Each structure stands twice: as structure tokens, then as C-alpha cells.
Structure 1
């Protein structure tokens, strides 16, 4: 089964709790705190792998969770870290945020285009610190430790786009499958009826010292950009290819279509689906020249291609154009003209690869970009007034601080109040209009707000 789009829920492992412990040994009367840290939770990592050909592994299983960290122990013994969960996907997988409640796709996380490339989509929680970390000049024996940090969790959408250098596009039964079988070792299903090809086929072609990967994309029809026929299901695979090879059936197939009109329809559908496809490098191929009576239409198509090439170059006949001015006339059945077409594709792909390699060196790594965005978003918090005297504080970092706090320990609560003040929660509440005695809600806890000048700005309420 060919699966090219799935949505999965990922959750890192929670961090282990830090230990509250004091050194107790004979002849060591005041040993001091020696609680160890909790282990970090494992991350959920998505990795591109050339050995994976589809997203079938995520068709029926949608929830993935990494291993949690273990708790710290006395004698400064640190808990073990949880193992990362590695989810392998095909090379060419695009990862987006996905919001399950609204069924909407969010921001791009990564585009994994190379074997081994990876991105962390759910960070494991940091292990809680043991009480040894909270010793100060005035707090010599801290009787509290941090609980483990909860991990990140989210839904993501995985979308596979074929990694091919050239894509064969055209109307159904234009001969694309026959052509890819001639230029490569691919053996797709070939038939004399429309939509014989229902899934994209990949083939590796070689011409001299050059080679390229070619994709046979299922036939397109008018309205494909709106989802008609196979529409969006396979147009997405053309987006990634460097070169479009437009195959035109000179016979018009059994329906007796006008080949010139077919040529225009495919061009229009590509442009309507994604505007940048109109300027994508393109080679036009006239297929089935072995059929008698196709000479005249072949000449007309060659004139149209040349005119389009000049127009794409801004009207300058001698300027570079994304459209090759030459019409390649072939017979995928007999093999006539196929070798020269293959050489032209290989040469053009080689040129485009060199250009892409130069541009890629200037691009930042996805992991760094996504991590920076995630950290910035995590640190932000909002203060919302729910009603008179009731406020809610929301934000990833703030909420994790509350979850990490041991609410049975007064020292731990006092430390949380200090952290709130340091990151600006108290100031934000005051600006939002919070007054002494107002109720402040964070996650599942409620606090009573007091003036920032007081020793304790928050006092926990029982809810």
C-alpha cells in the first residue's frame, strides 16, 4: 500500500524527579544535602531513511511516546535518562504542526531531504534537580527537590513527497509509464486505458557518466488542481522535482483529444496548483511518433513550444528560458529518440543539482530554526482576566514550573514564588489589573495574589 500523508501524536518522556536526601554516615554529623538529579526523558525524533518507501508504519498506529527518565537517589546518584524514540520516514517527508481540535495544519517543522537527516518533534522533560542544587548562604539544608519536568507533546502531520530529479507529467495514457520503463529499470503497470498508473513510480536512469531519478506521476486531467481525478493526491509529488518532463500524446488517445489542447491543459493545471511550477525548468516530449499521421501535429506542437520558450525568457529568443525550446519527438514503444531525450534530461538535471547545492549551503539547519522558534514560544506567557478578581496565566514554561513543584513542601512552594518573580509573572499580573486577594489560576492550581512588595506574593488556595 502506498501511503503518503498521515497524522501522528508524539510525546517525549517525562523527566525523573530529583531526590531530597541528606548524607547520613557514622562520624559525619552534618553531612549536608546529597540528593541526586532525576534523569532526562527521551525525545521523539523523526529521521529520514532511504530504506523506507512509504508512511505505511503510521497508517494504523498514531500515538508514539518516548521513555521517561528515572528518579534520582541519595548519595548524589543521578537517575537514568530515557531512550529517544526514533521514527523513520522516507527521504522527502515534510513535517508540519497539526492541530487535532481544529483539524488545521500549522507551521512547517522540517523538510527531510537527505538520508539520515533528523528533527526532534517532542522534547523529553528535563530531570528534576536534587536538593543539593538549592544550597545557598542562608539556606544550608534545603528540604525540597524538583519534580521531573513534563515532556512536550503535539500532533504532527507527515507528508511524503517523492524525491525525484525529473517528473513525467501528462494526460492519462500519454505513455509516461512506457517511457520510464524504457529509460530505467522500473517496471510499472502499463495498459491501454486511462489511470493505469494509480501510484507514482520511481526509476533510476543513466546516460553516460550522469544519472538521475525519474518519477512517473499518475495522469492529470482538467481541474486536477481542484482535486479532480487524482488531483491533489499526486500533484504534490511534482512540487519537489527539479525538472518537469511534459509528455504529450500526439494521437489524442482513443478519445481523439487535441494534443495542443492537452498541452495547454497540463500547463494550466500546474500553474494553478502552484504558481512557481510555471517557471520550473521544463522539457516537452511528443510521444507516439510511430503512429502514422502524427507529423503535422508534431510540427505545430514544436512551434508552440518554441513560442512558449521565448515568452518565458521575456521575449528574448537568445536568453535562457526555463522551457527547453526543442521538442523531443520519441516513440516510447519502439525506443526511437529515447536515448537523446535521456541525455538531455541527465544534462539538465546535472546543471540544476549544481545550482541547488550552492543554494543549500546557505540555508540554516531545520533543527536549529525550529528549536529557536520553539524556545521563544515556550517562554512566552499570557495573563487573561476570566472575571472580576479571577485571572489565568498560560504558557509552557510557567505551567511546567507549577507541575514540577512539590505542593506538600513549603520550601518548594517558596522557591516557585521566587521563580515567578524572576521571569516577570508578578509584574504581568499587576499590569493586567490583579489586586491583593485576587485568585490566580495556573494549570490545575489556584493562588491568592498579594502585592509584589510582600515577602510572599502568592498563597496557594485549596481547590
Structure 2
């Protein structure tokens, strides 16, 4: 049977393009000078990621990888604005981390959001802005503007969705130490149980309840092996599910299993793998659980493991998943520890809102103007806001081109070029277009430039 559990996906998202604004004039009987009445284009829909508590896997994104929101429609005359495109909502499990992927390497560049609460949302692909109709360009000297803006094309990019289980405690250990048997005993979870390694290939969740009435969510994480932190076995696929847990239940088979392993060496090996994968896991609260203590000739292994665990400052329990011995005390201690850790998490203050941080970063990058010399008298200008202005301009319309030049001056592009070293007659390249820089007669006020709502970065001189 095909495995339907998927906890990591790369998808391509694109918002809807904005509709074009309309260039129109009112034409009615007995209204000889009706004036401009072109409507605005509609904004494109956005692609939104939403946390859904009903989902437990990213299987919906295993085979389909491209998602597009609806585009906005064009504006029309008589001030009729275009319709906005519909948003596209992609639902993911609670506990999903959304990351931007580097377009060149397809490796994670930065976190966009961490969706840890049901219903949390983040916009990963904003829709393009609709172009403005010619009614917006009327001034005291421009009474009949014969141009309008084109719609803004939406950005297309790849993102990574990584699901991490939202559990209070995680059962970790070597393969076949009895983790699945323990979770089946203490909760209603029914994982596959067999007497061979790697029976469990996907994490399982269960709710354990102590006699006191306290409950907690426990995860059965598939077995780890030496080298798991470096990707050996299925290490990277499973270690991510331990990162969110407040408490680690480290299960050790005191019989040594088929290979006759040493219990203390197994304990040390797993702890080293956890620390190598994420340093904070080395100091995560941990309870050491010696399993299969009902079997004969395990007393010495239990005693040595207890000594090693207590020397590291960890609580120790000797249990048997087969008979249930010691499990009630283990569950009671875990429930109390989880309740304490939850209270500490609340006191520590609110978690950083990655949604807001990503939006601030996006807006900051959008405002940047980058100027770099490509040839002796040729300059390359880049930046989302500047490029958007160029794209939205109707280059077949002289009025629209003149208006763009005015916008360049207002946003600080002319000052940025002068500061970079551009002189009158140099070529300025933006996207696939080239302009002749007319220069400025007066020196720019760079203090005033710094106060503008744009950030300017200069490329190295290639001379």
C-alpha cells in the first residue's frame, strides 16, 4: 500500500496578474467636455497558506506543484472598475513552516511563517495591483490625460512547506525498542507493531491521559540510527518532528535487541544524534525509559542505564510495554512535566510573528533601488518598485512615458544614478528597456535622498 504521509513539499505559487486600467473619455449628448472616465483594473487574487487542524499530512502537494490565483479583469469606460481576482487558499496541517526557496539553488533562503495555530494564514504570493484608469492622472495642467496604467504582473516563486508534528512529548530511540508498543498502551493510537526494525515508517500521534485527569499529546517517531543527523537512514525525515516537542521520552531496549547492543551505548548514540541535528535538543527536558524490563537477565543493563541517565540529570523509568509495568507512573510524571513546560511557555511571552516580519521584509526589498555599472557608460537599475513602474507603463503612449520619467525623479532614481556616478548621456537599463540619462544641473541633496521612502544600494564599479 502506498505511503500517503508527506511532511515536506516544494510548490510554485503565483498571484493573479492585475487588470489594466482604462483610458476613456465621457461621450454623451449635450456633454461636450465630459472629461476622462476610465476605470481601474481589478487586483489579482493572492495565494494564501492556511493552517487546517483537520489535515495531518501534505499529501495534497505531493503530485501537484503549481498553484495560480485568479487574475483581475480590466477596467472599462464610465468609471467601471475591473473585478478583483479570487484568492487561492492552500490548506496545510497545523505546525507547517513556510519558507522561501532560493531561485538558483532551490534551498531554503528564509522563513516566511510558522503556522502553529488553527486558522493562521500567510500570504505567500500577493496578487498584482490593478492599473489605474486615466481619471487618476488629471492635474491642473493635465486636464485630459490620454493614458492609463497596465496591470502589475504578479511574482512567481517557489516555496517549501515543512510539516512538524505538534506534540507535547516524543518517543525516540533506536529501531525496535518498543516505542509503538508504548504509545499503543498509553493512548488510543494504533500504530503497526511487529518484531522487525523500521516497522514504523511514519510518525504516529496519540493522546495520553494520567490518573489526575491531565492529558498530553505524544508522538511515536520512527527509529533513529547512528548518523541520522547526517541523513543516514530516514534521519532528516523524522528528526524534524522532535523539534517542536517540549519533552523527549528516550526509549531504550535493555535486552539489546537482535544485535545484542549495549543499552548505555544506544542511549549515548541517540543523544549525540539529537545534539548534532539541533543543539537545542541537547538541553531539551528528557525522561529515559528502559523498556522490556519484564524479560530475564536485564537487571544489570537497567542498573547501568539508570546510573547514566541520572548522571546526566534525567529522570528514569523502568517499564514493560508488554505487561504495562511502570507505565502509569511514567504517564503521570510526563503529564505533570508537560503542564509545567506549558506554563513556562506562556510566561515567557508571545512568539515572534513571522507573518509580520516577512511582510516588513518584503516591503523593504520592494522599496530598494539597486544601481550597478554594466559598461563604461551603461548602468543597470533593478528593484521591484522601479521595475513595476516600467512594466505598468504603456510605451506606445508618449504621455505615459513622460509621466514615468516624472515618477523616476520623485522616487529618487535620478539622485541614485548621480550618486553612483552616472553622467549626462549614459545609458540606463531597466529590465529589457534602455533610456538615455539626461543628468541633472544641480547637485543632489543626499541627506534628502536618505529620507526618501526608498533604499539605494550601489554595485561595484567595473572599471
TM-score w.r.t. structure 1 length? Answer: 0.92
* Poorly superposed stretches of 4+, deviation over 6 Å: none
Matches for 1:149-168 after TM superposition, within 5 Å: 149-168=152-171
Correspondence for 1:200: 203
Give me the whole-angstrom Cα distance separating, in 1, the residues matched to 2:234 and 2:84: 47
Encode CA deviations 1:192-214: one digit per residue, 9 max, x unaligned: 11111111111122224222111
Shift, 1:431, TM fit: 2.1
Encode CA deviations 1:215-248: one digit per residue, 9 max, x unaligned: 1111111111111222112111111111100011
Correspondence for 1:332: 321
Conserved? CA contact 1:128–1:404, under 8 Å:
yes
Correspondence for 1:351: 340
Give me the whole-angstrom Cα distance separating, in 1, the residues matched to 2:11 and 2:429: 31
* 1:107 matched to 2:95: no
Shift, 1:348, TM fit: 1.1
Aligned residue among 371, 384, 389 for 1:396:
384
Matches for 1:283-302 after TM superposition, within 5 Å: 283-302=287-306
Shift, 1:358, TM fit: 3.3
Does 139-148 or 362-371 show the bigger shift? 362-371
Conserved? CA contact 1:251–1:288, under 8 Å:
yes
Matches for 1:52-63 after TM superposition, within 5 Å: 52-63=55-66
Please give the secondary structure, in 2, of the residue aligned with 1:381. strand
Give me the whole-angstrom Cα distance separating, in 1, the residues matched to 2:353 and 2:21: 34
Matches for 1:404-415 after TM superposition, within 5 Å: 404-415=392-403
* 1:33 matched to 2:21: no
Conserved? CA contact 2:39–2:78, under 8 Å:
yes
Conserved? CA contact 2:15–2:47, under 8 Å:
yes
Give me the whole-angstrom Cα distance separating, in 2, the residues matched to 1:451 and 1:170: 69
* 1:20 matched to 2:8: no
Give me the whole-angstrom Cα distance separating, in 2, the residues matched to 1:199 and 1:102: 28
Shift, 1:453, TM fit: 4.5
Shift, 1:191, TM fit: 1.1
Correspondence for 2:375: 387
Give me the whole-angstrom Cα distance separating, in 2, the residues matched to 1:394 and 1:357: 44
Give me the whole-angstrom Cα distance separating, in 1, the residues matched to 2:137 and 2:441: 23
Conserved? CA contact 2:424–2:440, under 8 Å:
no
Give me the whole-angstrom Cα distance separating, in 2, the residues matched to 1:191 and 1:277: 29
Please give the secondary structure, in 1, of the residue aligned with 2:312. helix
Conserved? CA contact 1:148–1:404, under 8 Å:
yes
Correspondence for 1:368: 356
Correspondence for 2:140: 137
Does 73-82 or 362-371 show the bigger shift? 362-371
Matches for 1:42-441 after TM superposition, within 5 Å: 42-207=45-210, 208-309=212-313, 323-324=314-315, 327-359=316-348, 361-441=349-429
Q: Which runs of 5+ in 1 are unaligned?
A: 310-322, 455-463
Conserved? CA contact 2:191–2:200, under 8 Å:
yes
Correspondence for 1:457: none
Q: Which runs of 5+ in 2 are unaligned?
A: 443-463
Q: How many residues of Structure 1 are paired with residues of Structure 2 in the alignment?
A: 438
Encode CA deviations 1:59-107: one digit per residue, 9 max, x unaligned: 1211111111111111211111001111111111111111242232201
Give me the whole-angstrom Cα distance separating, in 1, the residues matched to 2:384 and 2:347: 38
Does 85-94 or 22-31 show the bigger shift? 22-31
Correspondence for 2:430: 442
Conserved? CA contact 2:45–2:86, under 8 Å:
yes
Conserved? CA contact 2:37–2:78, under 8 Å:
yes
Conserved? CA contact 1:119–1:366, under 8 Å:
no
